[in-house]
Structure 1
């Protein structure tokens, strides 16, 4: 028993030490720059998905035949393609640059999926059934949905799940996940960034509006997340908010992101 207790104490000490790691200003800046870059990448994908989804719904000749969609990056272009119900053909393709709200190119010529699209589609179809496993604790509160973003990672894939909502005056932070899969879509590891959904209310019942919002992270997740940045960039333009902050108890500091400046900095107060 003493040996077991000793081992447990060692494990706990390692965990506490990892959570309380100190970062130099340069290390912290590098970490935040990396998170911001990932958040912008996620946003570029969701931005294309959002706007192409609106466009395809208005195209009566195609919308009724669509089964699913895929969004991916090719050089400086983000493409969203819509597949038929059998997922054997691309029915429509929209190309976006510089996070534009209008595509720089549209193509409605039916074609077979290319290698990139086939790979992403295979991962999507393989991972979705796995998400019902209770060990991953993937859930969707009423009034919200989960959007999937699939990014190639060498021979593997990163699969993000981020929340979405059609409710006005809400920025849906939290309830976000990251899965690393093999090339076929089998889950190798998983991470949950927040313990729950954290809806930021931007419009109060008395008519007042919020211009800033802050939430805290657990010590096990000390940094602002790329999903936080993506979600804020999607919804903030629909509000009067320009920035949000995350407080890190593990680091004892705030991290503030401003979407108009695309700046992410360590701050003493939000």
Structure 2
């Protein structure tokens, strides 16, 4: 005769289950925190690289206008790129010949650029960067499908980057006036043939912030689902204008996260929103 099997409640077994649940919860929290720290580090590193390149372009165009204006009618494009600890800005003509090279051994300013106005052939890397920039420019100019948005009194700035892992071009919107423009920025990915394989809109719109702003910081919201954190372009643009607008902090709020950047000490944090 078979008797029904009964299972007695085991306090020890219950504690083991609770301990497992607690450990799993702790692991998930740790994993999420680790992922946030990884995202934070990637964004900040990319932002500082963008800032370094765009700062070099800013000062190099000033040097061109002030000291080498005779080249203006020949130049058809420019870009900045890193080479070891040096940042170079190059200006080229229609034939792809480099007419002006300006090198910086640190964050560019109006005093530390080394100018070489001797015409020369482009290097292999420079040719690739120029090709990326030209393809991105044509993509923007044709604007098939109205992917790009244009605003009055602004102009696009192209930042091509080649790493061992990817070829990309960032397009930032720069103001022709004394104001910070957050948003209306894009990222394009390329294959080894310098053909566009992917594109992304990093913000939904453009947010202009004038020099008459009296606060110590600024903030904006991210509504795009695939941009939950402050972007590298946000940080780059804020760094470029922080001294002009006398501000040090920028905050981005999305559905699930708050991102805070302090330009004075280059600290950047991402925290989950407590109300989510």
TM-score of the two chains, using structure 1 as the length reference:
0.82
1:179 aligns to 2:188 (yes or no):
yes
1:257 aligns to 2:266 (yes or no):
no
Offset at 1:153?
3.5
- Paired with 2:180 and 2:69, the residues of 1 have a C-alpha distance of 31
- Paired with 2:132 and 2:242, the residues of 1 have a C-alpha distance of 31
- Paired with 1:173 and 1:111, the residues of 2 have a C-alpha distance of 37
Unaligned runs of 5+ in 1: 1-20
For 1:201-220, list aligned pairs within 5 A: 201-204=210-213, 209-218=214-223, 219-220=225-226
Query: Alpha-carbon deviations, 1:65-85, whole Å to 9, x = none?
Result: 32211211101111001112x
Whether the 8 Å contact between 2:160 and 2:167 is mirrored in structure 1 is: yes
Offset at 1:136?
5.9
The CA RMSD measured in Å over matched residues stands at 2.1
Q: Secondary structure at the match of 1:257?
A: strand
Instruction: Point out the structure with max Rg over C-alpha.
Output: 2
Task: Return structure 1 stretches of 4+ with deviation > 4 angstroms.
Answer: none
Alignment-derived partner of residue 70 in structure 1 = 79
- Paired with 1:214 and 1:155, the residues of 2 have a C-alpha distance of 32
Unaligned runs of 5+ in 2: 1-27
- Paired with 1:133 and 1:184, the residues of 2 have a C-alpha distance of 21
- Paired with 1:61 and 1:177, the residues of 2 have a C-alpha distance of 33
Count residues in correspondence. 241
Offset at 1:156?
4.4
Aligned match for 2:162, one of 152, 177, 186: 152
- Paired with 1:119 and 1:258, the residues of 2 have a C-alpha distance of 35
Offset at 1:234?
0.6
1:109 aligns to 2:118 (yes or no):
yes
Offset at 1:98?
2.2
- Paired with 1:153 and 1:37, the residues of 2 have a C-alpha distance of 13
Alignment-derived partner of residue 59 in structure 2 = 51
Whether the 8 Å contact between 1:88 and 1:113 is mirrored in structure 2 is: yes
Query: Alpha-carbon deviations, 1:26-72, whole Å to 9, x = none?
Result: 32122111100000111111000000000001123433432211211
Alignment-derived partner of residue 118 in structure 1 = 127
Aligned match for 1:195, one of 177, 184, 204: 204
Aligned match for 1:242, one of 230, 233, 248: 248
Whether the 8 Å contact between 1:201 and 1:210 is mirrored in structure 2 is: no
Whether the 8 Å contact between 2:172 and 2:233 is mirrored in structure 1 is: yes
1:128 aligns to 2:132 (yes or no):
no
Structure ranking higher on relative contact order (CA contacts 8 Å, 6+ apart): 1
